[in-house]
Structure 1
């Protein structure tokens, strides 16, 4: 598909094969972590040496320091560096004769080999864990893209076919009554608007899936976001009543405003199209602890219980419209919503109410990633 060219610069899986050797991995963060842990180990050993004159306490402390450095840094470089520093520190500072090298100590080679083994084993395990996590994340992205392409293939073809059919009818039948011409043009406009929304979803999901593109979150006033969304919604669905509930005080939430507007627009559209009997919608936001909770409630027919487990993964079966055009595919829009919310470190859920359904999602109120 044209959206995902097979190119090393675009494909994160192909990019992973070109990563530098983990042994030479170097970063300011890893250097700071290593320096901090070793400094703490030295300080602890100094405190213990003042409190107790017996030697031997430095060895387990520096083994722990090497273990922590190897676990918390990337690659092998800093782990091995910590092992060398620890052996030298034990020999030079915390072993008699103090502040002098004594390479004749019987346990010195064993200490070095132990430190080195601890470093290599821990670095290897850490590297494998990080690789497995990266592969899992890339696999999820590819699965999401595959579901997206599978869902959208029909959704793009259908409105295009309809638009071509309408324009062909208008061109080949010049004597059509004005009322019929207007109806055909309105149908073509509706199909074009549907196609625009599908493309917007595609752009949103590819933007999130691009390994090189990170979403930029800025503190936004949620009332302004809701106002933009409601204004667009009322233009498209003037017959549906929508109410907005927001905090009396300004609520700032770090977000990508365009993407969150896309989420709310998708949820409002689903409430109308898939609720079928929806006439009233409540769009609300309020603070829940360290999160902002966004909610869309409708008075429609609700969500079939069998569809709840797969509501957000894009694998839902297509729901045909009465005309049989198959446009009403709720899986695409909701999978996009879930991907956007997860990219904001948030969570999302859906449930049936007494009358209708409720979709809600939480976004952190600070830039700190809540894990």
Structure 2
């Protein structure tokens, strides 16, 4: 019996080790495949604005008799394309950082109203025709987060609402504390909503990019949402999306710090006194 149990233990241990090795190999292969898909998609997305920049600058340089109005219009296009390239590079850097095995978030307690205000302030400069509104709790809500990455999540969701909402004219941002110990951030627009066929696979990068992109590369609902999902998951949170009667809404939740029992005790004693 002893020999039988020993043999079973050795075989079980060997099978467990083998299974772990196969799982690790499968995860590595999945990472390699996703990186290849990411590079293919980003290569197309970057090529489009670069082509536009070259075309606009060539038109300005090769046509010295262009009117001031036409020249300004071409240079505005160059500026917009360059700004989009900068945001794309920032997204690439973020998703590379999050995907690293040694990822360390610079998390600290931040007031949500300041994070929302900063994201809206930057968005207003890029999107002057969009009406923004912000709703935050009356009491100060402090949430542990990497503020730069969370601002990037908000910026990506705002830009996504404008580009893919198509008819979006107003965006409402809201933050609140949920009953299950999370801080919920909402980006709600009044656009055309999300295609029902796309909604179930919205955060699955490989499925969304199974077919080659067509048209303007910037209209791919890809890298920005991939970054949002990766950043929120790295914070231990969750990201969801749904349509409502007047458009679409993205909601991500970040875990709140546990209540300090010492503070609760002090408050109770003060109330008693």
Structure 1 residues 290 and 142: CA distance shift in structure 2, 3 A: farther
Aligned to 1:200: 90
Residues 355 and 141 (structure 1), Cα distance of their counterparts in 2 relative to 1, 3 Å cut? same
Aligned length: 254
Q: Which runs of 4+ in 1 moved over 3 A?
A: 113-144, 317-320
Segments of structure 1 that go 5 or more residues without pairing to the other structure are 1-106
Q: Does 1:316 align with 2:208?
A: yes
Q: Deviation string for 1:137-159 (max 9, x for gaps)?
A: 44443343233222211111111
What's 2:65 paired with?
175
- Aligned residue in 2 for 1:6: none
Paired with 1:353 and 1:254, the residues of 2 have a C-alpha distance of 29
1:249 aligns with one of 139, 147, 150: 139
Pairwise mapping of residues 292-331 of structure 1 onto structure 2 (< 5 A)?
Answer: 292-314=183-205, 315-316=207-208, 324-331=215-222
Contact 1:319 1:328 in 2 (8 A): no
- Identify the match of residue 341 of structure 1 among 232, 246, 252: 232
Work out the CA distance in 2 between the residues paired with 1:361 and 1:125.
39
Matches within 5 A, 1:125-274: 127-128=17-18, 130-274=20-164
State which structure, 1 or 2, has the greater radius of gyration over its C-alpha atoms. Answer: 1
User: Counterparts of 2:15 and 2:98 in 1: how far apart (Å)?
Assistant: 29
Does the residue aligned with 2:113 lie in a helix, a strand or coil?
helix
Asked if the contact 1:313/1:331 (under 8 Å) is kept, the reply is no
1:20-73 deviations in Å (ceiling 9; x for gaps): xxxxxxxxxxxxxxxxxxxxxxxxxxxxxxxxxxxxxxxxxxxxxxxxxxxxxx
Q: SS state of the match for residue 219, structure 2?
A: coil
Q: Measured at CA, do residues 313 and 235 of structure 1 come closer, stay the same or move farther in structure 2, by a change above 3 Å?
A: same
Deviation at 1:344, TM superposition (A): 1.4
Conserved? CA contact 1:319–1:327, under 8 Å = no
More strand by share: 2
Please say if residues 46 and 217 of structure 2, whose CA atoms lie closer than 8 Å, have aligned partners that are also in contact.
Answer: no
Q: CA deviation at 1:180?
A: 0.4
Corresponding residue for 1:358? Answer: 249
Deviations along 1:64-105, whole A, 9 cap, x unmatched?
Answer: xxxxxxxxxxxxxxxxxxxxxxxxxxxxxxxxxxxxxxxxxx
1:287 aligns with: 177
CA offset digits 1:165-197 (Å, max 9, x no partner): 111111111111100000000010011011111
C-alpha distance in 2 between matches for 1:334 and 1:177: 40
TM-score, reference length from structure 1: 0.63
Q: Secondary structure at the match of 2:105?
A: coil
Q: Matched residue of 1:242: which SS?
A: strand
Out of 180-189 and 333-342, give the one that drifted further.
333-342
CA shift in 2, pair 1:351/1:231, >3 Å:
same
Is there any run of 5+ residues in structure 2 with no aligned partner, and where? 259-273
Q: Provide TM-score, normalisation by structure 2.
A: 0.83
- Structure 1 Cα separation of the partners of residues 117 and 228 of structure 2: 19
